[in-house]
Amino acid sequence: MQAARRSRLERFRDILKVVAGFGPVRQTHIMYKANLTWEGLKEDLTILKSLNTIQEVVWEEGIFYTITQIGREVLSHFSGIEQILKVADQKAPSIAIGNLVDSGYRF
């Protein structure tokens, strides 16, 4: 079975988690920890910066990224949504999205 590709929102979540957990952090560290390609990372960082969820900090050692308050709030909302979906999955496993994916259903 081939691994499912992540959506852009999932990639954003992963980047925000890395920056929140390891920041200030360099691009290459984000790329490896979030398991992204260089091109994908550059595009996603541009979008996240434009949304003011992360910020670029230039020091003598290079360019680093930190999470903003807005980024922390977005990450908190992602966590809340994941918790709601986990509860829904436990309450109604026959209709859960995870079961649809496991059965071969394609979105």
Looking at the domain covering 8-102, what would its CATH class be? mainly alpha
pLDDT at 103 over 60: no
Domain ranges of the chain: 8-102
Share of the chain above pLDDT 90, in %: 64
pLDDT of residue 106: 44
Distances (CA, A) of 46 to 15, 25, 56, 71: 12, 15, 10, 14
61-83 mean pLDDT: 94
- pTM of the predicted protein model: 0.77
Using CA atoms in the order 52, 44, 75, 87, what is the torsion angle rounded to 10 degrees? Answer: 150
> For 31-57, how does the pLDDT look when each residue is reduced to its tens digit (9 = 90+)?
999 999 999 999 999 999 999 999 999
Q: Residue 1: is its pLDDT beyond 60?
A: no
pLDDT for 57:
96
